[in-house]
């Protein structure tokens, strides 16, 4: 997997993941499950630096070094 997320993009995803965890802990039921899933996806893509949807839509926020 080739990196396709910039550092700022990864930081934003990490912040969203933390916010989703906080929200999941504050709610119950279906919303809690949805927020846990969102948190997991955001955390994994932030750590990996790779987003499958970016590949699908040919988006690359990572700077290309020459």
pLDDT for 65 equals 58
User: Which 8-state DSSP code applies to residue 62?
Assistant: S
pLDDT for 13 equals 97
pLDDT for 63 equals 83
Question: For the chain, what are the domain ranges?
Answer: 7-56
pLDDT digits (tens, 9 = 90+) for 7-66: 999 999 999 999 999 999 999 999 999 999 999 999 999 999 999 999 999 999 988 654
What separation, in Å, do the N-terminal and C-terminal C-alpha atoms of the chain show? 19
Of 50, 45, 37, 39, the residue nearest 2 (C-alpha): 50
pLDDT for 1 equals 78
Contact 39, 21 (CB under 8 A): yes
Of 43, 9, 10, the residue nearest 24 (C-alpha): 43
């Amino acid at each position: 997997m080739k990196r396709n997320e910039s550092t700022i993009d990864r930081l934003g995803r990490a912040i969203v993941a933390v916010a989703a965890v906080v929200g999941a802990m504050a709610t119950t039921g279906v919303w809690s499950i949805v927020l846990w899933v969102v948190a997991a996806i955001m955390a994994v893509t932030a750590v990996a630096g790779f987003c499958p949807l970016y590949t699908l839509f040919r988006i690359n926020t990572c700077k290309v070094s020459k």
